[in-house]
Amino acid sequence: MPNIELKNITKTFTSINEATKGEIITAVDKVSLKIKKHSYNTLLGPSGCGKTTLLRLISGLENPTEGQVFFDRKDVTNMTTQERDIGFVFQNYSLFPHMDIWHNVTYGPVVRNRFNDETEKYIHSILKMVKLDERARAYPSELSGGMKQRVAVARAIATKSPLMLLDEPLGALDVRIGTALRYDLMTLVKKYKLTAIHVTHNQEEAMTISDNIIMMKRGKVIQSGSPKEIYDNPNSIFSAYFLGRCNFFRCEMIDKNTANFQGAIITLPKNFPEKKVVLGVRGEKIHINSKPKKNNIQGKIEFINFLGEKWQYIIRLSDGTEISALKRVPHEAKIGQKISISFYPDNILLFNEPRDFEKEKSV
Ligand SMILES: Nc1ncnc2c1ncn2[C@@H]1O[C@H](COP(=O)(O)OP(=O)(O)OP(=O)(O)O)[C@@H](O)[C@H]1O
Ligand SMILES: [Mg+2]
């Protein structure tokens, strides 16, 4: 346990909201997915795309309308959460307020009849790992948010369940504590050889923590792969935008490997068969020429933002398109200055022009 496999999973709800009463909501839409043993996976996508529902379907807290869930080729679709043996970490900690940390963490092994001398040692070692061994007698109300979430993580690991499901575990924490806890989670999952599925809508969190990112949009899995695979080869405008905020240029094709963007002739990395094409270029791949070149794309510097390790140049093109260029060292161009931009063919991603570009990019 567990290689996890989802086969054609769909989950629909019937709306009880006054305005939409009786309407069918498809929260998860024909999802098929494989999750490798001992890997750290994130479900990444915008609010309402079905991440929590998919996690609950894996856990058995929710039953699919259609499809099957397999753990190591065994069909667990009709098994309860207890039978599936899962450690669950919720966004809002869900600790027992009347129990101290020790009893919160030992609760799982006690109810599963797994508590013995060895478990006691094991739990001491987990509390040490999450830096709470000296606070074992404290109550949840005496702890900060970051500490409470570490207790919740320790509690999930203490169950000795090989599968840990985490729903936005870092969402309620301040950025600094959340970032530190990311590394703790990665370390714990590797140390105890767990398989983790972690829900987030934070792309930076997903990129740092994951072996595998599962990108979701409107109930569907759009793409899955390592952070680098998805960043370098996004399969859609949505993936390119959601992971790494790609820039887009909507062009007319001139011939099979050149396109026209507002009069600038752009050579493509390979032939493209359609009449229209959307070019995707990452911010760090955009060159700014402070003396505008005639055959380049023309624009104007609108804002310059200092982001610590890099500078962001917000450029407005004449058709209103906003471009974000990222530089490790500040560029000489100033706010309000007319500039031109260019990029190498090898740094261009190619996409079909969608029916509704803005909708494609967003949720
Ligand atoms: N019990 C339910 N009854 C009716 N609709 C539901 C129920 N649970 C979820 N939904 C709907 O299913 C869709 C997906 O919800 P879900 O909570 O899985 O999204 P999410 O990706 O986790 O969003 P968020 O990032 O905001 O937590 C939403 O439209 C939601 O309103
Ligand atoms: Mg959710």
| 3-class state of residue 76 by DSSP | coil
Residue 25 CB less than 6 A away from ligand 1: yes
Q: What is the pLDDT of residues 140-181, one digit of tens each?
A: 999 988 889 889 988 988 888 899 999 998 887 778 878 888
Would you kindly state where each structural domain of the chain is located, as residue ranges?
4-238, 245-361
How confident is the model at residue 153, as a pLDDT?
87
Residue 49 CB less than 6 A away from ligand 1: yes
Q: Whose CA is nearest to atom 4 of ligand 1?
A: 13
Residue 217 CB less than 6 A away from ligand 1: no
Q: Whose CA is nearest to atom 26 of ligand 1?
A: 47
Indicate which ligand has the atom closest to the C-alpha of 46.
Answer: 1
Q: What is the pLDDT of residues 217-239, one digit of tens each?
A: 999 999 999 999 999 999 999 99
Q: Whose CA is nearest to atom 24 of ligand 1?
A: 47
- Within this chain, domains 4-238 and 245-361 share the same CATH topology: no
Q: What is the pLDDT of residues 22-31, one digit of tens each?
A: 899 999 999 9
Residue 28 CB less than 6 A away from ligand 1: no
Distance from the CA of 53 to the center of ligand 1, in angstroms? Answer: 6
Residue range 59-72: mean pLDDT, rounded: 96
Residue 209 CB less than 6 A away from ligand 1: no
- Residue that is written with structure tokens 């390592």 in the block: 226
DSSP 155-202: HHHHTT-SEEEEESTTTTS-HHHHHHHHHHHHHHHHHTT-EEEEEES-
How confident is the model at residue 209, as a pLDDT?
95
| Mean pLDDT of the chain, nearest integer | 92
Residue among 12, 49, 166, 198 to mutate when testing ligand 1 (max atoms within 8 A of CB): 49
Q: Which atom of ligand 1 is nearest to the CA of 216?
A: 21
Q: What's the CATH number for 4-238? A: 3.40.50.300
Distance from the CA of 113 to the center of ligand 2, in angstroms? Answer: 31
91 has pLDDT over 80: no
Residues shown for the chain: 363
Cα 348 to Cα 184: distance, rounded to the nearest angstrom: 36
Q: Which atom of ligand 1 is nearest to the CA of 201?
A: 25
Nearest residue to 36 via CA among 3, 9, 14:
3
Q: Beta strands of the chain (E only): which ranges?
A: 4-14, 24-35, 40-44, 66-71, 74-75, 86-89, 163-167, 195-200, 212-217, 220-225, 247-255, 258-261, 264-267, 276-281, 287-289, 297-306, 311-317, 322-327, 338-342, 349-352
Q: What percent of the chain has pLDDT over 70?
A: 99
Distance from the CA of 91 to the center of ligand 1, in angstroms? Answer: 15
User: Could you confirm whether domain 245-361 is CATH 3.60.20.10?
Assistant: no
Indicate which ligand has the atom closest to the C-alpha of 53.
Answer: 1
Q: Whose CA is nearest to atom 14 of ligand 1?
A: 50
Q: Whose CA is nearest to atom 27 of ligand 1?
A: 47
2 has pLDDT over 80: no
Residue range 319-330: mean pLDDT, rounded: 94
Q: Rounded to two decimals, what is the model's pTM?
A: 0.90
Residue 27 CB less than 6 A away from ligand 1: yes
Q: Whose CA is nearest to atom 5 of ligand 1?
A: 13
